[in-house]
Every structure is written in C-alpha cells, then in structure tokens.
C-alpha cells in the first residue's frame, strides 16, 4: 500500500485527508507540525510528502532525498517557501495546488470595498458607541480605476467580479489572456501604478517580484491610492508602505499578508510581543486593515487544496508526472 505523509495539517483539513485515504485505499499519516531538519524521522518509509507554507529549505530537501522520497506536493498555490533550485538538483519533483480562485478573489473584493468605505474606522467607532458619520464618507467603485497586478487565475477572477461594478479595470501581467481582455485593459506596470485608484496584488512571490511595490513604485502612484494585498507580504516593501501611509500617498491599505508574517500568522499570539515592528506599526494605522492570511479560507477551497495535492502525489507515483507539477 502506498504511504503518504502530510505536515502543517490544520484540524479542518483532517476529514478531507481521511476521505481521500479511504476512497483511494492509501495510507496517509498526518502531522500538525512542520517538517524541519529536527524531525526528519517522521518521513521514513513514505512515498510522498505534502506540506503547507513552512520553509522547505535545501536541508529539509536533502533529508527528503535521504529518506528516498521523490515527490513533494504543497497544498498552496504559492511555492515561494520551497527552494526549487535545491529540489531540482536533488531530483525531487514538486507540485503546487489549485483551488477555487473565487475564494481569494471574493476576499480581495471585500477588502477593496471595505477600504473604499472606511469600514475599519466605522466598525471601531460603532464598537465604542460612536455613531457619528462625519469624515467617514466613502467612494463608489464605479468612480475608480482598479489596477490588478497579476492576472492569473485569482487576478482574472477578481477582474471578472469587478466588471459588475462599473469601474475601469487595468491589468498588469506578462502573460495576456483573452478572457481578461473582455473586462480589463492590459497596461505596463508603470502605467498601472500611475493610473490606479485601487491596486490589488495577485502575483506569485519570486526573486523578481519581491518588493515590486517599493519606494519608487509608491512615488509613482496617485495621491490617496488604496492598496490591497492578498498574495504575499514580501511583494510590498513594508517600510516604503509605512512612509506612503504617513505621507497620505496611500489612503488605505488592506493586508491579508504582511512581510515576514509566516512565523505568527495563523497562530494565537495575544500574550506575546509581536516579533515584527513594521507589522505592529502598520496595525496601528486606523486606515490599515490586517487579516491573518485567510483570503483562501473557504470550506470548498480547503477541500480542493487537500485533494489537489494528494492527486498530484498519486499522479507522480503512478506516472512520474503530475498535472500541477512545477519541477
């Protein structure tokens, strides 16, 4: 019988793993912890490994190879946590996941609307029984130009949803797509950052996209721009964003991810000092909404991300190739 092992498993994923194991008659053992150089013994005797967001370094990959495992499937779309160069050198195949792009697109749309309507301040005031409205006027989406950076599956879905609101939509992506062209105009990166009233990020984190929104990019933006990031925190230079918020260049930011969030997002840190000063500063702005990397989190998406990763391991095992193979 084939044996798979999964790490970083949340309680809400467990039933989907069990269902898959039963349907396919395979053994899948689950761990809530991350796979690290210290617990490599947990992968002995398995045919494939599934993980989620924890660092898959050269050291971890060397341990995976030493255990005779050739297949790693992440349950996320993003794979910036995996050292792909090392995996390639070590002959380890890696796949990413696909799940409903609407999960993230809807959340991004919600954050855009919340930012335009100053919802964080409204809710804070209401909690304090301050029911005044002066200063809390918003803007309608139809009166804005929205720039979507990264028009892959999630970005394209957001663009389609936005098309119902009557706003002008700009897209930046090196790969153009006919479906996107129905609703948006492809423009250069510079044109998008110069013209957009709202910017939403939907691209993968790579060496060339790290800090794609840096000091130079913020300087080009319109005064009073709104920024939404549901992709990866490292796409935005936090210090440049803080300066842009202080100067009023950025009117509001809604961040489902923040640079360096990995060690504490999805964990209860109420009693601990936040080990990220920029994040603490960002959280102190009344016009910044921070959510804990939760945009993907719908019941449907969780089921799909587990199934997709396990399907990839199954395909790798049977054919040596998987539909969502990265390398």
For residue 105 the two structure tokens come to 């697109």
Between CA 13 and CA 112 the distance in angstroms is 29
- Beta carbon nearer to ligand COI, 103 or 276: 103
- Beta carbon nearer to ligand COI, 20 or 296: 296
- Beta carbon nearer to ligand COI, 144 or 312: 312
Helix (H, G, I), strand (E, B) or coil at 277: helix
Min CB(107)–ligand COI separation in Å: 11
For residue 161 the two structure tokens come to 């949803």
Helix (H, G, I), strand (E, B) or coil at 250: strand
Q: Which residues bind ligand COI (CB under 6 A)?
A: 52-53, 76-78, 296
- Beta carbon nearer to ligand COI, 198 or 306: 306
**For residue 6, with 0-12 CB atoms within 10 Å meaning exposed, 13-18 middle and 19 or more buried, which class applies?**
buried
Cβ-contact 274, 258 below 8 angstroms: no
Only one residue has tokens 């749309």, namely 109
Min CB(6)–ligand COI separation in Å: 13
Is the sign of the CA dihedral 150, 156, 158, 162 positive or negative?
positive
- Beta carbon nearer to ligand COI, 8 or 144: 8
- Beta carbon nearer to ligand COI, 108 or 244: 108
Between CA 1 and CA 173 the distance in angstroms is 44
Alpha helices in 30-150 (DSSP H): 58-66, 84-90, 101-116, 119-127
Compute CA 215 distance to the chain's CA centroid, rounded to the nearest angstrom.
Answer: 22
Min CB(53)–ligand COI separation in Å: 5
């Amino acid at each position: 019988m084939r044996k798979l092992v999964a790490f970083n498993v949340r309680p809400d994923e467990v039933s989907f793993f069990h269902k898959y194991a039963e349907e396919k008659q395979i053994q899948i053992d689950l761990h809530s912890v991350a796979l690290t150089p210290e617990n490599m013994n947990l992968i002995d005797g398995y045919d494939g490994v599934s993980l989620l967001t924890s660092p898959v370094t050269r050291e971890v990959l060397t341990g995976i190879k030493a255990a005779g495992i050739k297949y790693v499937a992440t349950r996320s779309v993003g794979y910036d946590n995996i050292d792909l160069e090392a995996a390639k050198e070590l002959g380890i195949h890696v796949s990413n996941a696909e799940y409903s792009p609407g999960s993230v697109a809807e959340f991004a749309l919600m954050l855009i609307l919340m930012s335009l309507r100053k919802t964080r301040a409204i809710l804070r005031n209401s909690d304090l029984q301050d029911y005044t409205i002066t200063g809390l006027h918003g803007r309608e989406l139809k009166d804005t130009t929205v720039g979507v950076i990264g028009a892959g599956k999630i970005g394209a879905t957001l663009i389609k949803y936005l098309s119902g609101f009557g706003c002008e939509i700009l897209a930046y992506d090196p790969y153009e797509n006919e479906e996107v062209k129905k609703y948006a105009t492809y423009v250069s990166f510079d044109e998008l950052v110069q013209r957009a009233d709202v910017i939403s990020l939907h691209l993968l984190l790579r060496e060339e996209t790290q800090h794609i929104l840096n000091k130079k990019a913020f300087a080009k933006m319109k005064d009073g721009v709104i920024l939404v990031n549901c992709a990866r925190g490292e796409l935005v230079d936090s210090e440049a964003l803080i300066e842009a918020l202080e100067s009023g260049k950025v009117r509001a930011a809604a961040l489902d991810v923040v640079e360096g969030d990995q060690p504490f997002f999805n964990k209860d840190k109420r009693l601990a000092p936040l080990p990220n000063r920029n994040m603490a500063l960002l959280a102190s702005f009344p016009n910044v909404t921070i959510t804990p990397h939760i945009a993907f989190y719908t019941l449907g998406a969780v089921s799909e991300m587990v199934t997709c990763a396990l399907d990839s391991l199954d395909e790798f095992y049977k054919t040596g190739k998987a539909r969502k193979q990265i390398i």
